[in-house]
């Protein structure tokens, strides 16, 4: 079938290929797909259900349309519009077997002006999708790198930017990724971080940001040669965009002061980064592999008086002088929040007096547990507490050497203490399982993230048997039922409430 004069395919393919820098075969495939859709549409509703295929001759631009059927065994035809029985298919050719595809040529009508225009629109849409896929592939290795971009237009939800590269790809800068009080006009040239290539319904989308923590790393790599040459590493960064940031730096060359290098002569380097970020105040602290030392550095300018590390909950209790408490917390909790993000630990800041009271309370509670549940004498309990053991679990899983030291070198008593602790945990677990085996306990409650069998057992005893029962509790009410921190209690309650919000969105 010859092509319509209004739609010179070969000329169109070459033109689009040159203009969009796409392989011609990609464009031919897009045209065949668009023509097949138009062919199905012109042959009516029935043909739309049938496999319609168009094949273009790459030499002269002629194309032919076909309907296709899959060959199935006799009696196995479920969809006559897509399948054909083997016996019937053999009438077309002797060399056909189950699974083969047979095609009948269609006498496709010549495309009119409107039909040709529709086909062109479908082709251009598919070409755009292919172009986006190509751009996504090209930019895959550039994720988390900084680049310049030019503002093309402003939207209610953000800005469309044109990346500074030969392919002039478009990127989207959402409002939430723009610094506070920052506004751009068309043709403004801005620095942005490509942080994600998002798969969307209309194809891959380049997403850029000026508020992402990695953006500040990239800026320091530009302003500080030692960072770009890997003599200094920015190991971690946390930001309150437009207001304040903290970065932790480490030197790979003992002769270089990492903080001084990042600050620069008279603060020139850090000031250049701050100016790019709309005056964002930047604290530069020294990285340390020891989490406690890193947190102490991150709490600057406040001075830490003492720190207690809770490895099980990945949290730290930090004590400062009462006069420095407001500075340590920061306005609206900013300083402690940034220090927490920088270190990756949950930080609880309090005065020295409050920390002492808290840990005295913890010690009293631990002593009561060891004396009541294990029946240990007061002297041994004092040694256990002094050694840092706060729970029977910690005691049960302690090494024999540690327990021998607690028992003045008596290995037999150490083994007895370890066995006693293990037996208690086993007995308690069996009792908890028996409670949890009762009727009426919601499995969704047991499946909540952060829920333990011990928590569940205590909750059931308090009358909390379903996820909704827990969701309706306050933090204080939950703490009256189980021994749990404020943070963990709030997190567990919000997890129990999560399905409420899911139901609302549906």
* pLDDT tens digits, one per residue of 316-343: 888 888 888 888 898 888 999 999 999 9
Residue 17 Cα distances to 30, 127, 130, angstroms: 12, 10, 11
Return the pLDDT at 49: 41
Return the pLDDT at 45: 46
CA 311 – CA 333 distance, rounded (Å): 23
First to last CA, the chain: 51
155 and 95 within one domain:
no
Q: Is 427 exposed, middle or buried (0-12, 13-18, 19+ CB in 10 A)?
A: exposed
* Domain membership flag for residue 232: no
* SS3 state at 415: helix
113 and 189 within one domain:
no
* Domain membership flag for residue 276: no
Put the strands of the sheet holding 232-240 in their side by side order: 232-240, 244-251, 281-286
Of 52, 62, 71, residue with least CA distance to 9: 62
363 and 453 within one domain:
no
Within 10 A of 238 (CB to CB), how many other CB atoms are there? 21
Q: What is the mean pLDDT of residues 106-122?
A: 68
Domain end position, chosen among 341, 375, 409: 375
Q: pLDDT by residue (tens digit) across 388-433? A: 666 766 666 677 777 776 666 667 776 777 777 777 777 767 766 6
Backbone angles phi, psi at 414, to 5 degrees: -65, -45
Q: What is the mean pLDDT of residues 201-230?
A: 89
CATH number for position 294: 3.30.300.20
Domain end position, chosen among 375, 405, 438: 375
CA 47 – CA 29 distance, rounded (Å): 21
Q: pLDDT by residue (tens digit) across 64-105? A: 777 777 888 888 888 777 778 888 878 777 777 888 877 776
CATH number for position 477: 1.10.150.20
410 contact partners, CB below 8 Å, separation of at least 6: 404
CA angle 312, 315, 316 (to 5 degrees): 125
CA 218 – CA 241 distance, rounded (Å): 15
CA 406 to chain centre: 45
Put the strands of the sheet holding 306-310 in their side by side order: 306-310, 315-320, 346-351
CA 172 – CA 205 distance, rounded (Å): 7
Return the pLDDT at 388: 63
Q: What would the 3-class secondary structure string for 26-41 be?
A: HHHHHHHHHHHHHHHH
* Domain membership flag for residue 358: yes
Domain end position, chosen among 132, 158, 178: 132
98 and 22 within one domain:
yes
Strand partners for 236:
248
Return the pLDDT at 392: 67
Return the pLDDT at 257: 93
114 and 22 within one domain:
yes
CATH number for position 41: 3.30.1480.10
With a pLDDT cut of 90, the percent of the chain lying above it is 26
pLDDT band of 506, cuts 50, 70, 90: very low
* Domain membership flag for residue 180: yes
Tally of structural domains, the chain = 4
* Domain membership flag for residue 283: no
* Domain membership flag for residue 381: no
Side-chain-facing half-sphere of 103: CA atoms under 13 Å: 11
- Are 38 and 120 in contact by the 8 Å Cβ rule? The answer is no
Return the pLDDT at 25: 74
CA 195 – CA 346 distance, rounded (Å): 26
Q: What is the mean pLDDT of the chain?
A: 79
Q: What is the pTM of this model?
A: 0.59
351 and 323 within one domain:
yes
154 and 120 within one domain:
no
Extract the tokens encoding 378. Answer: 């007061």
Mean pLDDT highest for which of 279-288, 319-328, 367-376, 442-451? 279-288
* Domain membership flag for residue 228: no
Extract the tokens encoding 271. Answer: 């000031």
CATH number for position 168: 2.40.50.140
Largest CA distance in the chain: 102
**Residue numbers of the domain that contains 321:** 288-375
Q: What is the mean pLDDT of residues 239-255?
A: 93
CA 192 – CA 208 distance, rounded (Å): 6
344 and 408 within one domain:
no
Q: What is the mean pLDDT of residues 212-218?
A: 93
Q: What is the mean pLDDT of residues 123-140?
A: 75
3-state helix, strand, coil in the chain (%, to 5): 50, 20, 30
26 and 102 within one domain:
yes
43 and 76 within one domain:
yes
With a cut of 90, say whether residue 41 has pLDDT above it.
Answer: no
CA 155 – CA 246 distance, rounded (Å): 32
* Domain membership flag for residue 138: no
Residue 274 Cα distances to 108, 235, 239, 380, 479, angstroms: 65, 19, 12, 57, 44
pLDDT band of 284, cuts 50, 70, 90: very high
491 and 460 within one domain:
yes
16 and 120 within one domain:
yes
Beta strands in 390-439 (DSSP E): none
pLDDT band of 4, cuts 50, 70, 90: very low
With a pLDDT cut of 70, the percent of the chain lying above it is 76
Q: Is the peptide bond before 301 cis (omega within 30 degrees of 0)?
A: yes
């Amino acid at each position: 079938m010859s092509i319509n004069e209004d739609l010179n395919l070969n000329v169109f393919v070459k033109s689009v290929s040159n203009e969009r820098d796409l392989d011609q075969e990609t464009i031919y495939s897009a045209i065949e797909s668009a023509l097949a859709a138009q062919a199905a549409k012109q042959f009516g509703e029935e043909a739309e259900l049938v496999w319609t295929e168009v094949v273009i001759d790459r030499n002269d631009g002629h194309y032919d349309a076909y309907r296709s059927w899959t060959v199935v065994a006799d009696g196995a035809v479920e969809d006559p519009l897509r399948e054909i029985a083997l016996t019937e298919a053999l009438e077309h050719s002797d060399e056909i077997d189950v699974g083969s595809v047979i095609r009948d040529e269609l006498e496709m009508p010549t495309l009119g002006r409107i039909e040709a225009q529709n086909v062109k629109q479908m082709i251009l849409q598919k070409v755009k999708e292919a172009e986006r896929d190509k751009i996504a592939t090209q930019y895959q290795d550039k994720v988390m790198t900084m680049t310049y971009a030019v503002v093309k237009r402003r939207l209610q939800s953000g800005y469309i930017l044109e990346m500074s590269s030969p392919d002039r790809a478009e990127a989207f800068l959402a409002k939430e990724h723009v610094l506070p009080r920052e506004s751009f006009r068309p043709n403004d040239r801005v620095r942005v971080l490509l942080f994600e290539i998002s798969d969307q319904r209309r194809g891959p989308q380049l997403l850029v940001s000026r508020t992402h923590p990695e953006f500040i790393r990239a800026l320091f790599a530009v302003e500080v040669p030692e960072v770009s040459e890997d003599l200094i590493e920015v190991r971690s960064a946390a930001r309150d965009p437009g207001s304040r940031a903290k970065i932790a730096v480490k030197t790979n060359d003992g002769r270089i002061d990492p903080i001084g290098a990042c600050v620069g002569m008279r603060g020139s380097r850090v000031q250049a980064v701050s100016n790019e970020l709309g005056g964002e105040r930047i604290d530069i602290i020294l990285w340390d592999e020891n989490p406690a030392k890193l947190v102490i550095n991150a709490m600057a300018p406040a001075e830490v008086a003492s720190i207690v590390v809770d490895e099980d909950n990945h949290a730290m209790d930090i004590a400062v002088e009462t006069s420095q408490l407001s500075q340590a917390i920061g306005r609206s909790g900013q300083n402690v929040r940034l220090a927490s993000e920088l270190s990756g630990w949950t930080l609880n800041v309090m005065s020295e007096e409050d920390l002492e009271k808290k840990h005295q309370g913890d010690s009293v509670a631990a002593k009561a547990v060891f004396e009541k549940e294990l029946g240990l004498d007061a002297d041994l309990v004092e040694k256990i507490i002094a050694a840092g053991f706060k729970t029977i679990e910690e005691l049960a899983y302690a090494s024999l050497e540690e327990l021998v030291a607690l028992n003045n070198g008596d290995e037999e008593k150490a083994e007895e203490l370890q066995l006693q602790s293990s037996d208690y945990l086993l007995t308690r677990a069996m009792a908890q399982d028996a409670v949890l085996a009762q009727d009426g306990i919601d499995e969704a409650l047991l499946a909540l993230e952060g829920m333990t069998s011990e928590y569940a057992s205590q909750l059931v005893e308090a009358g909390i048997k379903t996820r909704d029962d827990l969701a309706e509790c306050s933090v204080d009410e939950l703490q009256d039922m189980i021994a749990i921190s404020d943070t963990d209690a709030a997190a567990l309650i919000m997890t129990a409430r999560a399905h409420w919000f899911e139901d609302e969105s549906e």
